[in-house]
Amino acid sequence: MMIYLYFFFLGTAIGSFLNVLIDRLPKDKSIMGRSHCDYCKRKLSAIDLIPIFSFLFLNGKCRKCKKKLSWQYPGIEVLTGVVFILVYFFVIPVKTGIYLINNAWIPAFAGMTGGGLGMTGGGLGMTGGWLGMTRGGLGMTGGLLGITGGGFEVVLELVGIIIPLGIASILIVIFFTDVKYKIIPDQMQISLFIFSFFFFLIEEGSQLSFQTIVARIVAGIVVMLPILIIYLFTRGKGMGFGDVKLAFNMGILLGLKSGLLALYFGFIFGALYGIILIILKLKKMKSKVAFGPFLILGILIITLLRVPIYDMLLRIYGI
């Protein structure tokens, strides 16, 4: 239970910073410097910046001008806390000492509940372990780069935690900047590419090679192509170029099969949302709707439901 609280409060603290990114990056403002009230421009003190608590303590108003503050701020903080718990639960189950990504077991958090460093032979080295391997996963004998030694293992395990949480944080920023400003900042696109590529390196482990790197880049291009074609055909009216870049990053993050499935779900839910808005006369056929959030929804669906979706495809189509 304590570990859930840890990840939640860590998420709320990160979420406070994500609010800064969401509101400043689309306006090309510096993310450095003290936060201030949007109305009276008063710089906020430390007591005003405690995640969730400050908003509730001040009754959702600025301490000086008493203007009501947006619920976006505590909302993003709570959301990030919940997302961090989900990332821990689905991607980093520390209690087992390893976590599962694309059907490959990789060492997780060191020194907790028999995890990471405490296992004989390391993550993949357990008797009868996944994929039938007898050698360690990351940083163990026969593992990535063939490196042994506790210090390097700890670094890899920490990276294995930081990268998924970083990707989740970036996707939250992309989601809300696209919804609020219809912009996906390039800084977030570049960050997502870097984090996704390192996630891929961890995912591949000892199987990493020049061919697998090329294959993952090709996956990014293939997943990007449908969005790029729509963008070129409609001259940017049907899709923004930010969606094109996001689709490429989806391919880097998820690979070819999962990336295309995430894209498919994004199209389905985006189309349903558009149809509902048109029926309710809230939008017209030529109205623009942010598509980035639906791509992120596709990523979420594949991340949480990858196994049952793959099983269903195998039963129905044999793929």
Q: Which residue has the higher pLDDT, 99 or 302?
A: 302
Model confidence band, residue 170 (pLDDT cutoffs 50, 70, 90):
very high
Residues 268/246/51/162 CA torsion (nearest 10 deg): 110
Spatial contact of 250 and 258, defined as CB atoms under 8 Å apart: no
Average pLDDT over residues 20-37: 88
pLDDT at 251: 97
Average pLDDT over residues 83-87: 92
Percentage of residues in the chain having pLDDT higher than 70: 79
Q: Which residue has the higher pLDDT, 208 or 265?
A: 265
| Among 182-186, 204-208, 231-235, 310-314, the least confident range | 204-208
pLDDT at 90: 80
Measured distance CA(243)–CA(45) in Å, rounded: 37
pLDDT at 147: 40
User: Residue 53 CB: number of other CB atoms within 10 A?
Assistant: 13
If we measure between CA atoms, which residue out of 259, 309, 239, 302 comes closest to residue 91? 302
pLDDT at 173: 97
pLDDT at 43: 85
pLDDT at 124: 36
pTM over 0.95: no
Average pLDDT over residues 234-255: 93
Task: Report the mean per-residue pLDDT for the chain.
Answer: 81
Average pLDDT over residues 62-66: 84
313 pLDDT exceeds 50?
A: yes
pLDDT at 165: 94
283 pLDDT exceeds 50?
A: yes
Spatial contact of 85 and 11, defined as CB atoms under 8 Å apart: yes
Model confidence band, residue 40 (pLDDT cutoffs 50, 70, 90):
confident
pLDDT at 92: 64
pLDDT tens column, 100-127: 444 444 444 333 333 333 333 333 333 3
Q: Which residue has the higher pLDDT, 220 or 207?
A: 220
Model confidence band, residue 150 (pLDDT cutoffs 50, 70, 90):
low
pLDDT at 215: 96
Q: Which residue has the higher pLDDT, 136 or 167?
A: 167
Both tokens of 126, joined, read 């357990």
296 pLDDT exceeds 90?
A: yes
pLDDT at 155: 64
Model confidence band, residue 156 (pLDDT cutoffs 50, 70, 90):
low
Measured distance CA(168)–CA(198) in Å, rounded: 14
Measured distance CA(191)–CA(312) in Å, rounded: 33
Measured distance CA(222)–CA(232) in Å, rounded: 15
Measured distance CA(107)–CA(15) in Å, rounded: 27
Average pLDDT over residues 139-166: 61
pLDDT at 153: 59
Model confidence band, residue 67 (pLDDT cutoffs 50, 70, 90):
confident
Q: Which residue has the higher pLDDT, 3 or 140?
A: 3
Measured distance CA(267)–CA(289) in Å, rounded: 12
pLDDT at 302: 93
